[in-house]
């Protein structure tokens, strides 16, 4: 009888430790998200299930082309790509991205651009809410990969580092799209 109680106690203890570890990891390090909508096509698809790294930006600053999740409002998180970082001037003219006056290739968009249609309407940093000439410290400029169907910095303005939840790290579902996110 005593052995049975001890065995039950060990199982309960193991389960409590497992749940505590899951809670800590989920709260502070990694979190699952589901992509909602087509704004990041073709890189991310509506319904993709992903893991985001919540601690990376406590260690490093976001880099250009990172895919980040941020609080767009109290009730809604968005997933977009970092295009501009502090100190940058960003502009798009004739579907070409310019960072600080230099052309920058966006290889992740090549599958979306087709024909002679404009993919990204012309804009410059001064045109977005806030009217900045350069991106200030503590902020980034984000755009969706599907530029014609994305609510991003062109509408929302610059995104504060305090709004960023984490970096998209892995697509785990659907299984045929399983991949580590490189950019």
CATH code (residue 172): 2.10.109.10
pTM (predicted TM-score): 0.82
pLDDT in tens, 96-144: 899 999 999 988 876 655 554 557 788 899 999 888 999 999 999 999 9
Tell me: pLDDT of 7 over 60. yes
Task: Write down the residue that tokens 């309960």 correspond to.
Answer: 12
Better-predicted residue by pLDDT, 16 or 101: 101
pLDDT in tens, 44-88: 999 999 999 988 888 899 999 999 999 988 888 999 999 999 999
Structure tokens at 63: 């880099």
pLDDT at 73: 83
Residue 93 domain flag: yes
Longest dimension (CA), the chain: 79
Residue 124 domain flag: yes
39 is annotated as an active-site residue = yes
Residue 22 domain flag: no
Residue 17 domain flag: no
Residue 143 domain flag: yes
Burial label, 64 (beta-carbon count in 10 A; 0-12, 13-18, 19+): middle
**Beta strand extents in the chain (DSSP E only):** 30-34, 49-53, 67-71, 77-84, 90-93, 96-99, 102-104, 123-124, 139-143, 159-160, 164-173, 179-180
Q: How far apart are CA 36 and CA 10, in angstroms?
A: 42
* Cα–Cα distance list, 22 to 51, 54, 167 (Å): 14, 14, 19
- Containing 19, the helix (H) or strand (E) segment is helix 2-24
pLDDT at 3: 67
Range of the domain at 51: 32-180
Better-predicted residue by pLDDT, 13 or 97: 97
Q: Which is the catalytic residue, given 54, 80, 153, 167?
A: 80
Q: Return the closest-CA partner of residue 146 out of 10, 46, 26, 75.
A: 46
Q: Which is the catalytic residue, given 3, 6, 39, 93?
A: 39
Number of structural domains in the chain: 1
Contact 86, 136 (CB under 8 A): yes
Residue 115 domain flag: yes
Residue 40 domain flag: yes
Residue 105 domain flag: yes
pLDDT at 50: 93
**Mean pLDDT, the chain, integer:** 86
Contact 26, 44 (CB under 8 A): no
102 is annotated as an active-site residue = no
What is the Rg, in whole angstroms, of the alpha carbon atoms belonging to the chain? 20
Better-predicted residue by pLDDT, 26 or 78: 78
pLDDT at 2: 67
């Amino acid at each position: 009888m005593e052995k049975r109680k001890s065995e039950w106690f060990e199982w309960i203890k193991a389960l409590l430790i497992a749940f505590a570890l899951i809670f800590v990891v989920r709260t502070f390090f990694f979190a699952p998200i589901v992509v909602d909508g087509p704004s990041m096509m073709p890189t991310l698809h509506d319904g993709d299930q992903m893991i985001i790294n919540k601690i990376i930006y406590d260690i490093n600053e976001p880099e250009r082309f990172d895919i980040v999740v941020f609080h767009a409002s109290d009730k809604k998180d968005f997933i977009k790509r970092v295009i501009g970082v502090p100190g940058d001037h960003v502009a798009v003219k004739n579907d070409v991205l310019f960072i600080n006056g230099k052309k920058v290739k966006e290889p992740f968009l090549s599958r979306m651009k087709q024909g002679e249609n404009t993919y990204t309407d012309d804009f410059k940093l001064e045109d977005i809410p806030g009217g900045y000439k350069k991106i200030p410290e503590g902020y980034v400029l984000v755009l969706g990969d599907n530029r014609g169907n994305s609510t991003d910095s062109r509408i929302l303005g610059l995104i504060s580092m305090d709004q960023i939840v984490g970096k998209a790290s892995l697509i785990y579902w659907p299984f045929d799209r399983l991949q580590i996110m490189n950019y």
